[in-house]
């Protein structure tokens, strides 16, 4: 498959996948579907096309992190304490199992910790619609559930940041400098947050024809400046979204205005390119079987854990809301590939996250959505 044929197929996917997923009441499966199509088409696509889509996907990677930040609206620390306690227990109970599995399949310590952080995460954007419409959540437990989902995502992002630095530099004293760099990113973006909020608000209010383009352009410009200053563009994108999460115009959040470029084009390209990076033979190899076994073991463990330790006395099937993790797993797999991991480890991690996410989303109640809604 050459460049033109790949672009034609991508355009068809842009048109069909969101509508089909919404038609079946599974809008959260949109990104997973793009990765699945990438895996299926991997043997047919030329190496040059894979490289081209991979480079285009890097921009989608930045916008994905920006939107992950936009999803998160943290409350005051005191009100988060019950959710924080549950989150810590939920994650710590799964780490020994995952460390045992990752060590058994040959991952080193850093790769094991990276995989644990990704697999214990929760992709709020993928589970949010199901959380909002879940019939078995009580009024008291609904807000607590959302807080736990958000904390799982934030914790994973922070751990991935540290692990990414450790994979790049090794376990040395330079990790401390990397942590200071992360703190510098947070501080720098927070200092720019107020003027940037005014600038974004002005664009949303005053601009008309070029509103979408200007918002995306400004996000990418801030990331580019951060990269030039020696900061990480992905971390800059995430914390920029985090500090701009409360911006609204005409009752719509900021992500609504970037969706035509991000959610409907560049982010799907990122997930499609990730699927292309998984060799087709891996799916039907020992690696694919390991991914299937890991996903089944993890889901079974979580079911037992939730039965013994339910969150706010919620029904047993609500634990599936904490399981979708594909966006965070994709970030972890991308991190491994960026640091030169040529083994099947990124493919195993990606397939495991895909199986866990698809399985949990299918286990959740269907969501009725209009075609106009974005993923």
The DSSP line for 283-336 is HTSHHHHHHHHHHHHHHHHHHHHHHHS-STT--GGGGGGG---HHHHHHHHHHH
In a domain, 183, yes or no: no
Domain that holds residue 319: 3-172+254-363
Residue 262 DSSP label: I
**Integer Cα distance of 361 and 91 in angstroms:** 20
Q: Domain holding 116: CATH number?
A: 1.20.1530
In a domain, 131, yes or no: yes
Q: What is the pLDDT of residues 81-120, one digit of tens each?
A: 888 999 999 999 999 999 999 999 888 888 899 999 999 9
Q: Measured at the alpha carbon of residue 156, what is the angle toward residues 350 and 331, in degrees to the nearest 5?
A: 35
Residues of the chain with pLDDT under 70: 73-77, 165, 167-194, 207-208, 230-231, 340-342, 368-375
Q: Quote the tokens at residue 68.
A: 């992950």
In a domain, 90, yes or no: yes
In a domain, 200, yes or no: no
In a domain, 74, yes or no: yes
**Integer Cα distance of 359 and 9 in angstroms:** 26
**Integer Cα distance of 61 and 328 in angstroms:** 11
Residues 6+ apart with CB under 8 A from 167: 110, 111, 114, 335, 336, 339
In a domain, 34, yes or no: yes
In a domain, 300, yes or no: yes
126 close to 31: Cβ distance less than 8 angstroms: yes
In a domain, 267, yes or no: yes
Q: What is the pLDDT of residues 220-266, one digit of tens each?
A: 988 888 777 766 787 788 878 877 777 777 777 777 888 888 888 88
326 close to 123: Cβ distance less than 8 angstroms: yes
pTM: 0.78
Domain count, the chain: 1
């Amino acid at each position: 498959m050459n460049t033109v044929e790949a672009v034609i197929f991508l355009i068809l996917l842009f048109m069909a996948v969101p509508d089909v997923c919404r038609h079946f009441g599974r809008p959260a499966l949109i990104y997973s579907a793009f990765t699945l199509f990438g895996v299926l088409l991997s043997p047919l696509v030329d190496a040059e096309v894979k490289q081209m889509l991979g480079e285009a996907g890097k921009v989608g990677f930045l916008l994905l992190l920006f939107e992950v930040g936009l999803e998160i609206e943290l409350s005051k620390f005191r009100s988060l304490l019950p959710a924080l306690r549950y989150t810590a227990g939920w994650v710590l109970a799964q780490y020994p199992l995952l460390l045992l599995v990752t060590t058994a399949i040959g991952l080193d310590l850093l790769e094991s910790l990276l995989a644990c952080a990704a697999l214990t995460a929760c992709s709020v954007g993928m589970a949010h619609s199901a959380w909002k419409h879940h019939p078995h959540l009580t009024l008291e437990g609904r807000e607590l559930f959302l807080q736990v989902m958000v904390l799982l995502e934030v914790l994973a992002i922070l751990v991935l940041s540290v692990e990414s630095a450790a994979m790049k530099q090794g376990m040395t004293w330079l990790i401390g400098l990397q942590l200071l760099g992360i703190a510098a990113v947070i501080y720098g973006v927070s200092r720019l947050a107020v003027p940037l909020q005014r600038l974004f608000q002005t664009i949303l209010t005053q601009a008309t024809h070029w509103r979408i383009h200007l918002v995306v352009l400004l996000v990418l410009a801030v990331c580019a400046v951060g990269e030039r200053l020696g900061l990480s563009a992905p971390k800059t994108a995430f914390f920029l979204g985090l500090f701009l999460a409360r911006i609204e115009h005409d009752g719509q959040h900021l992500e609504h205005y970037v969706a035509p470029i991000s959610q409907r084009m560049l982010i799907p390209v990122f997930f499609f390119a990730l699927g292309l990076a998984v060799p087709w033979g891996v799916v039907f190899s020992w690696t694919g079987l390991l991914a299937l076994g890991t996903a089944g073991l993890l889901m079974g463990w979580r079911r037992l854990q939730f039965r013994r330790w339910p969150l706010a006395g919620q029904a047993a099937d609500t634990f599936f809301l904490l399981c979708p993790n594909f966006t965070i797993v994709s970030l972890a797999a991308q991190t491994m590939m960026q640091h030169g991991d040529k083994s099947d480890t990124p493919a195993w991690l990606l397939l495991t996250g895909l199986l866990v996410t698809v399985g949990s989303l299918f286990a959740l109640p269907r969501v009725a959505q209009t075609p106009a809604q974005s993923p």
